Chains A and B, each alone.
Chain A
Amino acid sequence: MTTTLQSGQSPRISLLGTTALLFEPPGAMDIHTQRRIWWLARQVEAWPCTKEAVPGMSNLMLVFSDPPRNVDSVEADLLAAWSRAEELHLEGRIVELPVIYGGEYGPHIADVIDHTGLTIEEIVRFHTEPLYTVFALGSHPGYCYLGGMDPRIATPRRKVPVRGLPGGAVSIGGSQTGVSASEGPSGWNTIGHTDMAFFNPLRTPPALLAPGDMIRFRAERIIK
């Protein structure tokens, strides 16, 4: 049996050593919860005890500027702020990413076909149809966690992570999809490739995309 811990009644708050607090409210991993997380992040980053407020997928990490002596009062402040939290509508831009699906660019698309029972054309259609919202950045510089994938193409993460996956790899991990921003290991199923550069430390802002921005994948080519 799989339990999703976030499905409890009240938010969970847990310590990450003396470095940070993790705030996990109950509710679905959807755009409504995420907009309240964005609102909460704006509040929390103004607190004196905060070094950085880091939104995750319907959760928030508060990194301490200096570990507070009384952590209970910070927890109480978080709960109080969440109870007031509104949906913050971030006006994002829409970025279209041309993708080559399958073949050498999508080494695990066969696993997605096997798992879903769909054809490659159906997978590409379901993957390119939605307008995905950037929920949060994380994992590695410029990487975006996206919301809005069609559950029909959900495919479990790989048992053994793949090393040295190139930047631009378009992949599916469980019910999420994303694009890697630089070469590195990944446990997700790579189905295609795009050539976009997502991060440049010398640019302002350094990341191409921000929470609230939207991505549409366009099938440039399908290799069978």
Chain B
Amino acid sequence: MIEILSRTLLSSVQDLGRDGYLRLGVGTSGAMDRVALAAGNILLGNPENSASIEIQMFPFEARFLEDIAFALTGADAAAELDGKPIPAWWTLQARKGQVLKLNPTKRGARSYLALAGGIDVPVVLGSRSTQFRGSFGGHCGRNLQRGDVLGAIRTEQRSEFFDHLPAAGFGVEPPEFALPLGDTEAVAQGIRTFVRVLPAGEYDCYTEAALESFWNKDWMITTQSDRYGFRLEGEALATRQALEQRSHGIVPGVIQVPPSGQPIIQLRDAQPSGGYPKIGTVIEADIWRLAQAKLCTQLRFVPTTYDEALSALDTVRDYLEKVRRLARLYRLAKR
């Protein structure tokens, strides 16, 4: 069990999301950075889809109310356990009473705190993710507050894994280094993020000038960006003629362009249907990059093909498989 000590937070319980209820109007929710969520669980020997805490506001503080292993993935928040630094993308054993602190991040926007066994909240409509619009799932259907106490699911696997965790813990190479994309210098400085985009339904309706700007100009992630969507600012995108769309299904990653011409990327808490024209879709394999882009930094869209987008998914899968092999290696080494 852990107790949340921080006063103000935008942190919530998320797993890989809620599938199968779009036709009832229920969006997927789930971790913004699914790679980080899955990796944290793999480090602990949890099922990949176990629920963790997504932390979006720093500093964040929590106290362990029992001895339990935990993992930190996602943004490097210069974490400390009772004041001792913990590397990023690391798993470690906590003792009862120890305090975990995550500091403001230099790079990256969202950290994930996973507990051995996974966060124990009820499964609602097939998922433990917080559904904010419907006020259900996660912890009481809302963001976490100071004083909230969260438990972990007890499994035999968990105690076995415990015994084999090296005292100093262990970690893996974060995907930002393992899976580089675009101008690595700009990415490393955290000033620009590159994501691959597939054209969507109304792509051909945009003017040549609009498409030129779309692919070659910077797009600033405005402060009106959150788990629902990223509102971008740049050269307004114009269509050759006004478009009217009937309400239709959309998915996280879809880039809609409202009449203002300033695009909005729909994300994990987006509504599952919409009517604005769609210029493209950020491929699923790159949404974790978006999730780690800070507000007021720049975004660049890189054209891709369906086949490349499938390969990109394979690359993410291969990365997680590497994490899985490494975790197994550490476990066996201790035996």
Contacts and interface: CB of A to CB of B under 8 A. Distances in A.
Interface of A: 1-6, 12, 14-20, 22, 24, 29, 41, 51-61, 63, 67, 69, 71, 136-143, 145, 176, 181-182, 184, 199, 201-202, 205-207
A52 to B, nearest CB: 5
Interface of B: 19-27, 124-125, 131, 133-137, 198-202, 205, 241-254, 271-273, 278, 281-285, 306, 309-310, 313
A138 B205 CA distance: 26
Q: Which of A20, A58, A140 has the most CB of B within 10 A?
A: A140
A42 to B, nearest CB: 12
B244 A17 contact: no
B133 A184 contact: yes
Contacts of B282: 17
Contacts of B133: 140-141, 182, 184
Contacts of A69: 310
B249 A137 contact: no
A58 B247 CA distance: 9
A199 B19 CA distance: 17
A138 B271 contact: yes
B25 A181 contact: yes
A213 to B, nearest CB: 13
A1 B20 contact: no
Contact of A61 (B22, B137, B241, B253): B22
Q: Which of A17, A20, A176 has the most CB of B within 10 A?
A: A17
A57 B253 contact: no
B309 A18 contact: yes
Identify the 6 closest CB pairs spanning chains A and B, nearest first: A61-B249, A138-B273, A17-B281, A14-B201, A56-B248, A141-B134
Given A12-B201, A53-B23, A137-B24, A4 B310 contact: no
Contact of A1 (B22, B242, B250, B309): B242
A40 to B, nearest CB: 13
25 contacts: A2-B241, A2-B244, A5-B243, A15-B198, A15-B199, A16-B281, A17-B253, A17-B282, A19-B252, A19-B284, A24-B248, A51-B20, A56-B248, A67-B309, A67-B313, A71-B306, A137-B24, A137-B25, A139-B272, A140-B133, A141-B26, A176-B247, A199-B24, A201-B134, A205-B24
A90 to B, nearest CB: 13
Contacts of A59: 246, 248-249
Q: Which of B202, B244, B247, B285 has the most CB of A within 10 A?
A: B247
B123 to A, nearest CB: 11
A57 B228 CA distance: 23
A3 B242 contact: yes
B242 A139 contact: no
Given A51-B19, A140-B134, 11 more contacts: A3-B244, A14-B201, A16-B200, A22-B248, A52-B19, A58-B246, A141-B134, A142-B134, A184-B133, A199-B24, A206-B21
A207 B135 CA distance: 14
Nearest to B202: A5
A140 B306 contact: no
A58 B245 CA distance: 11
Contact of B272 (A60, A138, A184): A138
Contact of A2 (B19, B131, B243, B284): B243
B269 to A, nearest CB: 10
B309 A206 contact: no
Nearest to B122: A202
Contacts of A199: 24-25, 134
A57 B244 contact: no
B271 A140 contact: yes
A182 B135 contact: yes
Nearest to B136: A201
Q: Which of B26, B281, B282 has the most CB of A within 10 A?
A: B26
Contacts of B306: 15, 18, 71
A11 to B, nearest CB: 12
A22 B249 contact: yes
B138 to A, nearest CB: 12
Contact of A201 (B124, B201, B205, B272): B124
A136 B124 CA distance: 22
Contact of B283 (A17, A55, A139, A207): A17
Contacts of B24: 137, 141-142, 199, 205-207
